[in-house]
Every structure is written in structure tokens, then in C-alpha cells.
Amino acid sequence: MTVEARESVVSLGRVIGFLALAEQVPSDKEARDHIKSLTHDAASLMDYATFIGVYAPSGARGGELARKGFDLVSIGIDTGIRRAGAQAALVAAS
């Protein structure tokens, strides 16, 4: 999904680039301002489309996800941390 989003933003950037070459644009300040804004928006989207994180239940799964292109992989989930904490509390109480 990230790859598709990135490709869509790149395509949008290309369309904006071709739009900027239209005959009417150089003589129309409002059109130039809109294209500048669209170019900035596409660049901002590209920043978000290139970074994605995921939670993995184990180190092995985390490695698989990292190889698939995830930029941030967090190992473990909150449930596991809570379970470990509860087990430690039960051991300490007995």
C-alpha cells in the first residue's frame, strides 16, 4: 500500500509539472500561485508516503516486515507488556 501511495504522489507531481508548462500559466499569477501550492502539497505528501511503521509480535516477524520496507518496526505489543507486568506482580504477591 505504501508503494502505491508513493507512486500516486509521484504521478501527481508529474501532472503538476506538465500543468506548469501550459501556455496560460506564465501570464497568470493566480495560476502560478496555485501550481506552487500544489507542488508544495505533493512534496509534503511524498514525505508522509515514504515513512511507515508497524508493530510486530516477535523479532522474527519484525525482521520480515523490515525486509518488506517498513521504516519503523516495534517489537511486541502492549498486551504482552501488560501480561508480563501482571505475571510479575502475581509472583511478587505470592
- Per-residue pLDDT tens listing for the chain (94 residues): 555 666 777 788 888 887 777 777 778 888 888 888 888 888 877 766 556 677 788 888 888 888 887 878 888 766 666 777 788 889 998 8
The pLDDT value recorded for residue 94 is 84
The pLDDT value recorded for residue 48 is 65
| pTM greater than 0.85 (yes/no) | no
User: How does DSSP classify residue 58?
Assistant: S
DSSP-derived 3-state class of residue 73? strand
The pLDDT value recorded for residue 17 is 82
Q: Are 36 and 17 in contact (CB under 8 A)?
A: no
The pLDDT value recorded for residue 80 is 67
Give residue 9's Cα distance to chain centre: 12
